[in-house]
Amino acid sequence: MQPLSRWISVSALALMALNAPAQAAVPADALVGPIAEYKLYVLDNLEQLVAHTREFTQAIEQGNLDKAQALYAPTRVYYERIEPIAEMFADLDASIDAREDDYEHGVKDPDFTGFHRLEYGLFKAQSTQGLAPYAKGLMQDVDDLDQRVQGLTFPPSTVVGGAAALMEEVAATKVSGEEDRYSRSDLWDFQANVDGAKEIFELFKPLAAEEDAGFVKRVQGNFDDVEAILADYRVDPQDPKKGFVSYDKVSDADRRALTGPVNVLAEDLSTLRGLLGLN
């Protein structure tokens, strides 16, 4: 936006804010339950993440390429769902989930570790050779994450802001297909990010509806649209565990069709914090 038009819109917004009736903020009491529920959701997913990572990394250490490839995407799901919390730990987020582009020397960078380093080995090099240290490191990091999150008091604004953060993540790295460039399992991560965002939305939906029913309806509709398109790419619509087809199979038309509702969701959800008086 140009500075002038921004200035005009800022003043317009300021005027609107002055005219709007004072909005009753959501009482603090009402926020306690949903935030507690969200932590329990995160802890459940972490328990799954630890168990799946154990199986995944053991397959690598045993040199079982097929099994390791098959477990890569289903394991990541539990991380992708809880990313707003996992990302709070900068060191672990880097060592668990950074992509090669985050490093000066790309895949050759000695600090490039975690899921995407393993993805590179398993799907590009098509071998478990030399991956055991990365597998061990990932298991340690995931255990460490589990410990830290257990002791963490979730900041309410991070929890509520997490819904938008997840959809922004989808818009920035999933629609483009850069997240899982070797395994092409992007749709698994895509769905997991949507799951995580929807969980937060559902928990705060009753509170948000009291403030703005239209907002809730719009967000619900956009979630439905995104999930309907994703459902078309499930391997077996009856069995969600089987996951998704390769991202290469997603038509350009559908990639474009996803962009719209994903961006609107990210934008709408970014107002949830303000709506609940948590800014």
Partner 1 sequence: MNSTHATPSTAHHAPSPRLMRLGLVASFLLMLIAFGVFALSLRAVESGSDDGTLIEIGARGCQPSRVEVPAGERTFTIVNRSDRAIEWEVIDGVMVLAERENIAPGMRQPLRVDLAPGDYAMTCGLLSNPHGELHVTPNGNAAPARALAAHDFVGARAELRVYTTLQMRKLERASAALAQAINAGDLTAARTAYLQARRIDQRLAMPIGLFGDLDQRLNAPADYYAGREKDPDFGGFPRLAQGLFSAGSTAGLAPVAKQLMADLDVLSRRLAQASVPPAQLANGSARALQTWHDRATDGEMTPLALNDLAGITEGSAKIVTLIDPLLARQAPALQRQLDQALSALQQSLAEAAQPGADGTTSTAESAAPDALQALLDAGAVPAATAQRLLANSEALAKALAAVNHALALSG
Would you count residue 1 as binding partner 1 (CB under 8 A)? no
Would you count residue 28 as binding partner 1 (CB under 8 A)? yes
Q: Which of 39, 54, 67, 205 binds partner 1 (CB under 8 A)?
A: 39
Would you count residue 90 as binding partner 1 (CB under 8 A)? yes
What is the C-alpha end-to-end distance of the chain, expressed in Å?
Answer: 23
Instruction: Please name the amino acid found at residue 159.
Output: V
Q: Which of 23, 44, 62, 105 binds partner 1 (CB under 8 A)?
A: 105
Instruction: Please name the amino acid found at residue 197.
Output: A
- Interface stretch with partner 1, choices 44-52, 68-76, 105-113, 203-211 (CB under 8 A): 105-113
Would you count residue 89 as binding partner 1 (CB under 8 A)? yes
The least CB distance from residue 148 to partner 1, in Å, is 8
Query: CA dist 134 to 22, 49, 93, 94, 274, Å?
Result: 54, 17, 15, 13, 41
The least CB distance from residue 211 to partner 1, in Å, is 15
Would you count residue 98 as binding partner 1 (CB under 8 A)? yes
Q: Which of 66, 108, 130, 153 binds partner 1 (CB under 8 A)?
A: 153
- CA-wise closest residue to 163 among 86, 90, 68, 266: 266
Would you count residue 15 as binding partner 1 (CB under 8 A)? no
- CA-wise closest residue to 41 among 71, 81, 68: 81
Token digits for 144? 């460490």
Read off the DSSP letter of residue 126: -
- 97-123 burial, b at 16+ Cβ within 10 Å, e below that, comes to bbbbeebeeebeeeebbbbbbbbbbbb
Applying CB under 8 A, the residues found at the interface with partner 1 are 3-4, 6-7, 10, 27-29, 31-33, 35-36, 39-40, 43, 87-94, 98, 101-105, 109, 111, 151, 153-156, 165, 168-169, 172, 277-278
